[in-house]
Structure 1
Amino acid sequence: MSLPNSFRLLAADGTARTGVLETPHGVVRTPAFMPVGTAGAMKGIHWREIRESGADIVLGNTYHLMLRPTAERIAALGGLQKFTGWNGPMLTDSGGFQVMSLAKLRKVTEQGVRFKSHIDGAVLDLSPERAIEVQRLFGSDIAMQLDECVRLPASRDEVDRAMQLSLRWAERCKRAFEGAPQGHMLFGIVQGGDVAKLRRQSAAGLGEIGFHGYAIGGLAVGEPQDVMLAMIEEAAPLLPQDRPRYLMGVGTPDDMIEAVKRGIDMFDCVLPTRNGRHGHAFTRRGVINLRNARHADDPRPLDEESSWPPARSYSRAYLHHLVKAGEALGAMLLSEINIAYFQSLMAGVREAIAAGQFADFRAATKAGWAAGDLPPR
């Protein structure tokens, strides 16, 4: 492996791992959940709350930021961290997810992807080289290769074609990343859909190319959880043990804890903020839907034992009122409560692995979710 390694394993419990990833903007404790700031901001949450929740690293979206305000403008203003005010570790995706999510607005060729902007219809070309150039302009601590993500279910031929193309793009991205400032990292992305052989082929091919870290992409895109976990089990053991492993776009607390069991170190998802905006709170007793009428007269907090003050201090009745009234404060409070819960879960995972008690922690956590939210007495 020719690339320098910024990842250090601290402990393992079975295949679950905890470690630290050193970046130019700070240290990331793993397993880590990365809140998603698609356009350089968290929806309805200040960076202050993100930091205080325990997050070490956040994610920005290459496709959206290169459209508005543009990579060149961000670079002229000092880079993405300075521009946003986050000033901590930041990972940017490559735009590969939009190859799937904006399928009606793009065309994929060997050279790259041609998008039609969802904002004004302007034509945008995104090649592997341009994806790296944009992320270099951002100043991302961790950049991702450009890949093609296929929505499942898909035919084997289609999955194979996209996986092979992603491998060729991975080689081009690595060449384009040469000369990046010291400490900045490039991750390759394992593709292969729900086909075990293709997942193994992709993981092995990326290992031969050599990256600072490795992501598993193209999951949580329509397949059942057992299929997602099976694909992790196929790919993760083939990835270099001394490099971080990132499961892209995942996910629910249960998805994350099961992926940690299988050796995953990093996660990202819009779920905490998106679900918060729709009135759902993640807690140690599972998901609570504050839209339900049964909360209208409930004086209890969401979780009296939570380390996050709003989860302890606001009544369910008040949160229900905010959600039903469409008040922005309700979405804001539930979003930050959810982010804080995800960070608390990751902190518990790290502590359990370090203590050699991950199996007990996993069982107790899942039992809490299964017990559900108890009605008021």
Structure 2
Amino acid sequence: MSSQFSYTRIAVDGSARAGIYHTPHGDIPTPIFAPVGTQATVKSVTPAQLHELGASLVLSNTYHLYLRPGADLVAEMGGLHSFMQWPNPILTDSGGFQVFSLAGIRKIDADGATFKSHIDGSMHRLTPEKSIDIQQKLGADIIMAFDECAPPHDRAYNEQALERTTAWAQRCLQTKTRDDQALFGIVQGGVFDDLRIKSAEWTASQPFDGLAIGGLSVGESKTEMHAVMDKVVPLLPQDKPRYLMGVGSPEDLVNGILRGIDIFDCVLPTRLARHQSAMTLTGRINMLNAIHTHDPNPIDETCSCYTCQHFSRAYIRHLISAREMLSSTLISIHNLYTLLRLVRLCREAILEQRFTSFAQDFLSQYNHPVK
């Protein structure tokens, strides 16, 4: 474990926790949502805008940055913080999920994964050692163990993948050398209780700086996702942060926090923005809908983001219709703010010992309306 990282739990309401994760690049108030900057940029949003939104943690992707521009170049430029001009904490994933998503152009064995680049078709190999080496060169504050994300309902595959994930995690622990990076272990096992429990107990017993739950939001039902969290989270240490990987819809954030999750990340807010969909605390709005053509109101009258303080639904719909890039930026700013606002409201509710009722009220009103 790294001496430069620590988690302070401030308040508990049921299983929900409010805390602070201390890192060399600043404190992360938890629960927290991390915008995803896959290729060292959160799509269509500048670092200054992210700062204004109140983001404290950003995620970048090991697989993509390894292929382009390359970890050596990022290291030459002073690491990710300098390269992308983000002075606050950064998390990099291990590349395991991206390899999983390359079905048909990758081969996995006990030692690692061989895969074909989606950029130029060139062949590459990732091992636990190489994943850690790349992440150490990238220089993020939080780095992830190299794991295998398996199809959630395939029992035989999950058994094999869990064996590999466990062996690879041990190799990651042995390979990491930088004390200014926190290494998180990842719990896998699909939707199978016994596999998840086995993985959680083993991962919790190791000297990781934090624990992540992987392999969710990859095709299982919401009920199955919740069941996995219900089994896994109680087995994780109280004095380390818990990270639910790749999950970021409003109802998933609230359900995760309700079960004791501290950190979330997802591409959803910026991806939805590029598809003309705005997030609110009661559901999504299709901004291309003709009903907005003459609407002088903001996306959300309760929202304090830059977009809602300055622009009408009519203007945003015009930008979409005219295929102007600004539409993606304005909706991304709003969507990111909405999720960051939501986790702040959750944190306040935990601190004030009213989160259970807050969560019940929120979930009863949230229903994904299409307008």
TM tier, smaller:
over 0.9
Distance (whole Å) between structure 2 residues aligned to residue 104 and residue 126 of structure 1: 16
Change (3 A) 1:251 1:321: same
Residue 335 of structure 2 aligns with which residue?
338
Task: Tell me whether 1:287 sits opposite 2:245 in the alignment.
Answer: no
Distance (whole Å) between structure 1 residues aligned to residue 68 and residue 169 of structure 2: 26
Per-residue deviation at 1:362?
1.5
Task: Tell me whether 1:110 sits opposite 2:107 in the alignment.
Answer: no
Per-residue deviation at 1:315?
1.2
356-365 vs 101-110, greater mean Cα deviation:
356-365
Select the residue among 302, 312, 315 that pairs with 2:312. 315
Residue 13 of structure 2 aligns with which residue?
13
Structure 2 unpaired stretches of 5+:
none
1:216-231 alignment runs, 5 A limit: 216-231=213-228
Per-residue deviation at 1:66?
0.7
Q: Which amino acid aligns with 2:35?
A: P
Change (3 A) 1:283 1:312: farther
Q: Which amino acid aligns with 1:24?
A: P
Distance (whole Å) between structure 2 residues aligned to residue 254 and residue 324 of structure 1: 30
Per-residue deviation at 1:365?
2.5
1:14-66 CA-to-partner distances (Å, cap 9, x unmatched) read: 10001011111111110010000000001111111111111100000000001
Q: So what's the TM-score if we normalise by structure 2?
A: 0.96
Task: Tell me whether 1:180 sits opposite 2:161 in the alignment.
Answer: no
Per-residue deviation at 1:3?
5.6
10-19 vs 362-371, greater mean Cα deviation:
362-371
Change (3 A) 1:40 1:299: same
Per-residue deviation at 1:371?
9.7
Distance (whole Å) between structure 1 residues aligned to residue 39 and residue 368 of structure 2: 37
Change (3 A) 1:300 1:71: same
Distance (whole Å) between structure 2 residues aligned to residue 138 and residue 158 of structure 1: 31
Residue 123 of structure 1 aligns with which residue?
123
Select the residue among 187, 192, 212 that pairs with 1:190. 187
Structure 1 unpaired stretches of 5+:
none
SS at match of 1:104: coil
SS at match of 2:298: coil
Number of matched pairs: 370
1:295-351 CA-to-partner distances (Å, cap 9, x unmatched) read: 112221112221213123211111112122221111110011000111000111111
Distance (whole Å) between structure 1 residues aligned to residue 236 and residue 89 of structure 2: 23
Residue 80 of structure 1 aligns with which residue?
80
8 Å CA contact 2:39–2:64 kept in 1: the answer is yes
Task: Tell me whether 1:214 sits opposite 2:203 in the alignment.
Answer: no
Q: So what's the TM-score if we normalise by structure 1?
A: 0.95
Distance (whole Å) between structure 2 residues aligned to residue 299 and residue 317 of structure 1: 6
8 Å CA contact 2:251–2:366 kept in 1: the answer is no
Residue 53 of structure 2 aligns with which residue?
53
8 Å CA contact 2:152–2:219 kept in 1: the answer is yes
Task: Tell me whether 1:246 sits opposite 2:243 in the alignment.
Answer: yes
Select the residue among 340, 348, 355 that pairs with 2:345. 348
Per-residue deviation at 1:77?
1.0
Q: Which amino acid aligns with 2:273?
A: G
Per-residue deviation at 1:104?
1.8
Residue 274 of structure 1 aligns with which residue?
271
Per-residue deviation at 1:117?
0.9
Residue 91 of structure 1 aligns with which residue?
91
Task: Tell me whether 1:163 sits opposite 2:165 in the alignment.
Answer: no
Distance (whole Å) between structure 2 residues aligned to residue 366 and residue 291 of structure 1: 26
1:19-58 alignment runs, 5 A limit: 19-58=19-58
Per-residue deviation at 1:372?
5.6
Distance (whole Å) between structure 1 residues aligned to residue 11 and residue 260 of structure 2: 12
8 Å CA contact 1:16–1:263 kept in 2: the answer is yes
Cα RMSD (Å) of the superposition?
1.5
Q: Which amino acid aligns with 2:129?
A: E
Q: Which amino acid aligns with 1:318?
A: Y
8 Å CA contact 2:250–2:281 kept in 1: the answer is no
8 Å CA contact 1:3–1:210 kept in 2: the answer is no
